[in-house]
Structure 1
Amino acid sequence: MSSPVCYGIIPARYQSHRFPGKPLVDILGKPMFYRVYERAISCSKLQQVWLATDDQRIFDAATKLNVPVVMTSVDHHSGSDRIKEAAEQLKLDDEAVIVNIQGDEPALDPSMLTELVAPFDDASTQVTTLARVIDAQEAENPDRVKVVRSNRGHALYFSRSKVPYIRDEEHSQTDYYLHIGIYAYRFSVLKAFTLLPPSPLEDIEKLEQLRLLEAGINIHVVMTNYTGFGVDRPEDVEQIIKQLQQQ
């Protein structure tokens, strides 16, 4: 099978409980959304990349910087809902692959996007995400979401808990996999996903991806050596600027 057409969409909402206006924060002379966009368009696997926002200030800033942008509803509860609306407005094909690119990772490595879309050469792939190995100490942190996967690479479960649980000392060197929250979907699957109600496990763990697993939709977990760093709070900006300057 030939490779499907892949597109990137960057959700960028203005309101954030921890960091209002985050997409517009200055990162080395440009808004953060622009730094993410310039990284994303460096990935040769993406035919085009758009910004999807709910705010006129972000829309106007994107237009001024010649970043393709789509205005979406202010009522979306997740980035998945926002990119689905944007893809519908853009009339993308059901078999196209839509990459949900986190708008708060201005140091994104484009190679991560290449790894993310590679499994779609297999027609059975529905959704992909990334993970990397971490040590046992880092796995203790409930803000670091862990994933366990099958021999075929499909996610078995995502959790804030330290999984798998080590019962016997002989398995103390077991690897833990940190979930990197970037996803790619066939558009038909993305549309089906956003129509599903929140699931019980999703509600317990507060992890949206569990809705897919509970609905029987496979998530292919691609192992990567790359690391990401998201800007969650204002104090993260200085760290990301230092990282970009070092690069």
Structure 2
Amino acid sequence: MKIIAMIPARYSASRFPGKLMKDLAGKPVILRTYEAALHTNLFDDVYVVTDSDIIFKSIQNAGGKAIMSKKEHECGSDRIAEAVENLAVDIVINVQGDEPFIDAVSLSKLIDVFKKDSTKEIDLASLKVEITDMEDIKNPNNVKVITDVNNLAIYFSRSVIPYHRDTNIKVKYYKHKGVYAFRKQALLDFYNTPITPLEAAEKIEAIRYQEIGKKIKMVETSVEAVGIDTPEDLEKAKNYLKNVE
């Protein structure tokens, strides 16, 4: 089973333009992410796939592997699908370019989903982390996920899910972490399907997979990596890096 990591990287992020090229302790954010994925030693190959000459050259100049997108894409899955369409791979891990501190243990858990899935029933695997702070739960920038008893995803939303109507019942909330593992065919099926209604409404690409019938296995992790969506997040990442180096 050939397993690769793909890191989709857009330069013009709406909330924080150019964030992937911002300096993070002497290196661009995207290079930090690339190196973190590489150093896990979990993958046969690691690539950055981008629409940006600046990002492409940054990775190549550092000795890394980068692929330039030929088309315009609305989401990371589309960008990755184009890049892997003609590659001989089985499993593709989507590592978010703005999460430079993703851990090897969590990535390994995603890979294990497919190693244990002998009947090939699971199309995707992804990570979730429990959140308890109400500000985090209500924050629309945090995508929430609910699952069935087998940890298959039921739905993803920027809204608060589940709705806690009966306060006598204990409810747990989980944030969806933007790290995916795909079977190649699931990725190509997504790529060849137009944007779906609920995906368009929520602006969450995972929903398209659900709307076309793909099974997504959610894996819980206790590691809350530092994602970079705002300038404030970048400062948090710099402080985090100081503490771990």
- TM over 0.5, shorter chain: yes
- The amino acid that maps onto 1:97 is I
Unmatched 5+ stretches in structure 1: none
- Find the counterpart in structure 1 of residue 84 from structure 2: 87
What aligned pairs does 1:135-214 form with structure 2 within 5 A after superposition?
Answer: 135=132, 137=134, 138-171=136-169, 173-214=170-211
In structure 2, the CA distance between the partners of 1:162 and 1:20, relative to structure 1 (3 Å rule), is: closer
CA drift of 1:130 comes to 0.6
In structure 2, the CA distance between the partners of 1:143 and 1:55, relative to structure 1 (3 Å rule), is: closer
Match of 2:94 among 100, 112, 137: 100
CA drift of 1:70 comes to 0.9
CA drift of 1:234 comes to 2.6
Q: Equivalent residue of 1:180, what SS?
A: strand
Residue 117 (1) aligns with residue 111 (2):
yes
In structure 2, the CA distance between the partners of 1:134 and 1:47, relative to structure 1 (3 Å rule), is: same
Identity among equivalent pairs (%) = 38
- Checking the alignment, whether the CA contact within 8 Å between 1:154 and 1:218 is kept in structure 2 is yes
Q: Equivalent residue of 1:82, what SS?
A: helix
CA drift of 1:10 comes to 0.7
Aligned equivalents of 1:83, 1:21: Cα separation in 2: 20
- Checking the alignment, whether the CA contact within 8 Å between 2:31 and 2:58 is kept in structure 1 is no
- Checking the alignment, whether the CA contact within 8 Å between 1:80 and 1:190 is kept in structure 2 is yes
- Checking the alignment, whether the CA contact within 8 Å between 1:154 and 1:219 is kept in structure 2 is yes
When the two chains are superposed, the root-mean-square deviation of aligned CA atoms in Å is: 1.6
Q: Equivalent residue of 2:77, what SS?
A: helix
Residue 77 (1) aligns with residue 71 (2):
no
Task: Write out per-residue CA displacement over residues 211-244 of structure 1, whole angstroms, 9 at most, x where no aligned residue.
Answer: 1111111110111111122111233222101101
Unmatched 5+ stretches in structure 2: none
Residue 237 (1) aligns with residue 231 (2):
no
- Find the counterpart in structure 2 of residue 225 from structure 1: 222
Aligned equivalents of 2:44, 2:189: Cα separation in 1: 23
Match of 2:27 among 26, 30, 34: 30
**Segments ≥4 residues shifted beyond 6 Å:** none
Instruction: Compute the TM-score of the two structures, normalised by the length of structure 1.
Output: 0.91
What is the aligned length?
240
Q: Equivalent residue of 2:57, what SS?
A: helix
- Checking the alignment, whether the CA contact within 8 Å between 2:226 and 2:236 is kept in structure 1 is no
- Checking the alignment, whether the CA contact within 8 Å between 2:4 and 2:43 is kept in structure 1 is yes
- Checking the alignment, whether the CA contact within 8 Å between 1:73 and 1:82 is kept in structure 2 is no
- The amino acid that maps onto 2:164 is I
Aligned equivalents of 2:76, 2:232: Cα separation in 1: 23
- Find the counterpart in structure 1 of residue 56 from structure 2: 59
Aligned equivalents of 1:59, 1:165: Cα separation in 2: 43
